[in-house]
Structure formats: C-alpha cells, structure tokens
Amino acid sequence: MQIDPTGLSPKEMHKIMIGSVIPRPIAWITSTNPSGTTNCAPFSFFNGVCAKPATISVSFSFNPDREDHKKDTLRNIERTGDFVINVVSEPHQQVMHNSSANVPLDESEIEALGLETLPSSVVKPPRLVVSPIHMECTLHQLIPVGDGPGSATLMLGRVHLIHIDDRLIDNANHIDQQGVQAIGRMAGSSYCFVREIFDLGVRP
C-alpha cells in the first residue's frame, strides 16, 4: 500500500505517524506556570538533538481543547523558559499515563496523582522522585510547523544539568540501560518495555 499524506485528514495521518514511528521515548515533563502551579505531562514526540550544546527536542501537538490551541506544558515553557524532562521507567507507566489527562489550568497533576518531587538546582520546576534520570532544561527555540489540527510546535531545549541515579552510571559515563527500565510509546494507548538489548558490534 502507498499512502499520500496530502490525501489524508489530520486524524488519519496522525494514526499513520504514531503507528510507524515506534517505539518512541517519552519525555515526562514538569513545568511551572507563572502563579507557581506545577504541571506534569508525558510527550512522546521527543528525542535528542546534539551533544554540544546539549540539546533535546519535543513536539507539542495542536490542542483543540484550549482557546489558544496550546498544551499547558508548552504555555508554561513559553512564559517561564524552564522545564525538567523526567525519564519514565517501570513500574510507573500507569501514573505517567494518567498524567496525560486534561485538568483545569490551575490544578496540578502532581498533587492530584500524589507524585513526590525533588527540588531542581538550575530551573524552577521540580523533578519527579520516581524517575531515575532528570534533565534540567531551558527553552532555546520554538518552531511552528503547520497550522490548525494536525500541526505542532517543535521545541528545542538546552540541557543545563542532568541527575542520574548513582546505581545506573559508572566512572566512564556508561549508563546501565537495563537498569533504567525505560518504557516506550507505541500507537494509541499502547506502550512497550525495553527489556531485551542486543549488540551488533563494531561497524564494518
């Protein structure tokens, strides 16, 4: 089957995208609005960009449930410039999934879900205790992509400080990938475990 994206509705193309780009890492982002309320939500259009300067990318999709069509997390980052990426690991997949629900702007998912936090060192939003890795970040650039339903805002963020559980990293900065117990996002409400890792050796 051949598919021409221009012939599909935004909903149909979104289904193709999330079913083809798999598995996707999950950025469980904590951010704070100007009044001090902390937001917590997962985003799976997320990846690393480069090592120097340390930069990550997150894509925020068009939000039909808000008048400005922005996710709360994007709105907070626009206004404050700060956020934390928390890596999602087993066995916290359900609470992460629950944090994706829409809540009123003045309510905190962290409080509603009973999540414990730790203070950050560089940015204002706190870190999630249940995460083995935290990246304290600031906004570098926002790039609008498209317009209306199906569109998104691509964010580039600078990583200023990384917290890694001491049990997961050695003196050579190798991270125990099995120990992180990361999970990935598939299509719809499906996720995957990262439990089997294989090595293909040195490239020819």
Domain CATH number, residue 103 = 2.30.110.10
- Tell me if 11 is assigned to some domain: no
Number of domains in the chain: 1
Question: What are the CA-CA distances from residue 201 to residues 88, 177, 178, 195 (Å)?
Answer: 28, 16, 18, 19
- Tell me if 151 is assigned to some domain: yes
Please state the rounded mean pLDDT for residues 137-145.
98
Q: Kind and range of the H or E element at 159?
A: strand 152-164
Quick one: pLDDT at residue 80? 96
- Please give the Cα distance from 89 to 201 (Å, whole number): 26
- Tell me if 78 is assigned to some domain: yes
DSSP state of 157: E
Mean pLDDT estimate for the chain? 94
Confidence class for position 64, pLDDT limits 50, 70, 90: confident
Percent of the chain topping pLDDT 90: 84
- Tell me if 204 is assigned to some domain: no
Residues forming beta bridges with residue 147, ordered by sequence position: none
The more confident residue out of 174 and 103 is 174
- Tell me if 160 is assigned to some domain: yes
- Tell me if 70 is assigned to some domain: yes
User: Which pTM was predicted?
Assistant: 0.94
- Tell me if 185 is assigned to some domain: no
Domain that holds residue 104: 21-164
- Please give the Cα distance from 145 to 96 (Å, whole number): 27
Quick one: pLDDT at residue 106? 78
- Tell me if 10 is assigned to some domain: no
